[in-house]
Amino acid sequence: MNTHSLKKLSFLLIAPLFIFSFISMPARTNFGGQWKLNEGKSELGQFGGFAAKSVKVEQKEDAITITQVNEFNGEQMTRTETLTFDGKETESSGGFGNSKRKSTVKWSDDGKILTVTFVLKLDFNGETNEIKGTEKYSLSDDGKTLTLQSNSAAPQGDISSKAVYDKQ
Q: What domains lie within the chain, and their CATH numbers? A: 26-167 (2.40.128.20)
**Confidence band of 6 (pLDDT split at 50, 70, 90):** very low
User: pTM of the predicted model, to two decimals?
Assistant: 0.80
Lowest-pLDDT choice from 9-18, 29-38, 73-82, 148-157: 9-18
Residue 26 to residues 29, 99, 128, 138, Cα–Cα distance (Å):
9, 36, 41, 15
| Cα 119 to Cα 49: distance, rounded to the nearest angstrom | 20
Burial class of residue 109, CB neighbours in 10 A (0-12, 13-18, 19+): exposed
Burial (CB count <10 Å: 0-12, 13-18, 19+), residue 21: exposed
Tens of pLDDT, residue by residue over 66-110, are 999 998 778 888 999 999 999 999 999 866 667 899 999 999 999
Helix (H) or strand (E) holding 10: helix 3-20
